[in-house]
Amino acid sequence: MDEFSFKIEEQVAVISSGKGGWNLELNKVAWGDRPAKYDLRSWSPDHQKMGKGLTFTDEELKALKEKLDAINI
């Protein structure tokens, strides 16, 4: 199995905390040799293990923010 590398370039926000210290976080992450993207996923306390997540370009995150701002919560 091929190994992959990642680097958390910026920790933007902890959205929620879960069991065992895992946190749902929004970070800016570079996967492999690719440019960093915004990344929403669960991370272990040491950031060595992660759950499935979503990645967003700057443009995608801006579009999502506009849609979320329009929701009346």
pLDDT of amino acid 3: 74
Domain 6-69 has CATH 2.30.31.70: yes
pLDDT in tens, 16-57: 999 899 999 999 999 999 999 999 999 999 999 999 999 999
- With 80 as the cut, is the pLDDT of residue 2 above it? no
The token duo for 35 is 């440019």
Per-residue pLDDT at 26:
99
pLDDT at 1 over 80: no
**pLDDT attached to residue 7:** 97
- 64: CB partners within 8 A, 6+ apart: 56
